[in-house]
């Protein structure tokens, strides 16, 4: 059953699970020879469900941390202005850092976050996104681990939201703009 306000299912629960398992294998392989501490940073709120599933698939010691960045408010289009609502608790200097994001579209917000993190002197900084919308890209973003490229649709579910709703939907669906 599709939730009211969401059109067709873009990614089923089963498809999401396969994507997360694949990404976990790729990330494990990429970091297995490193002697640096691995810090996995989730960008809240959208990444929390994806990140929880993902870290269980990464077969390496790690720590986790979170940042809350706001650029959407209650709209469906990023304003491009970012606000750091919650910063990291720990230093990342000298660590291998993996930033986990739910979706990268224009790159405006994400590129600013990456610059902030690079200034903190990590040993390495890699990006993992569940969803990539390259058709909307305005600023190039190097994505190291990508779940799936999607069309230019506003999507909700599996942590992604519209006005804080739909995060608990177990699949990714296309938002229709209908009342929630």
Catalytic positions, written as ranges = 105
Decide: 173 and 5 in contact? Cβ < 8 Å.
no
Q: Which of 95, 165, 171 is nearest to 130 (CA)?
A: 171
Q: Which of helix, strand or coil describes residue 54?
A: helix
Between CA 117 and CA 124, with CA 118 as vertex, the angle to 5 degrees is 105
Q: Which of 170, 130, 115, 166 is nearest to 50 (CA)?
A: 130
Q: Which of 37, 55, 32 is nearest to 128 (CA)?
A: 55
β-pairing, 124-132 vs 96-104, is: parallel
Decide: 145 and 8 in contact? Cβ < 8 Å.
no
């Amino acid at each position: 059953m599709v939730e009211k306000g969401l059109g067709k299912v873009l990614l089923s629960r089963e498809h999401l699970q396969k994507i997360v398992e694949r990404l976990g294998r790729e990330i494990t392989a990429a970091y297995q020879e490193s002697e640096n501490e691995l810090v996995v940073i989730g960008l809240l709120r959208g990444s929390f469900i994806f990140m929880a599933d993902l870290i269980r698939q990464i077969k390496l010691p790690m720590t986790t941390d979170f940042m809350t960045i706001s650029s959407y408010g209650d709209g469906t289009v990023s304003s491009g202005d970012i606000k750091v609502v919650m910063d990291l608790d720990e230093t990342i200097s000298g660590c291998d850092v993996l930033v986990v994001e739910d979706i990268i579209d224009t790159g405006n917000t994400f590129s600013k976050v990456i610059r902030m993190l690079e200034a903190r002197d990590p040993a390495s900084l890699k990006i993992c996104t569940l969803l990539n919308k390259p058709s909307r890209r305005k600023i190039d973003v190097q994505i190291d681990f990508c779940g799936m490229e999607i069309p230019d649709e506003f999507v909700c579910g599996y942590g992604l939201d519209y006005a804080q709703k739909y995060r608990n939907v177990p699949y990714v669906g296309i938002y229709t703009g209908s009342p929630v």
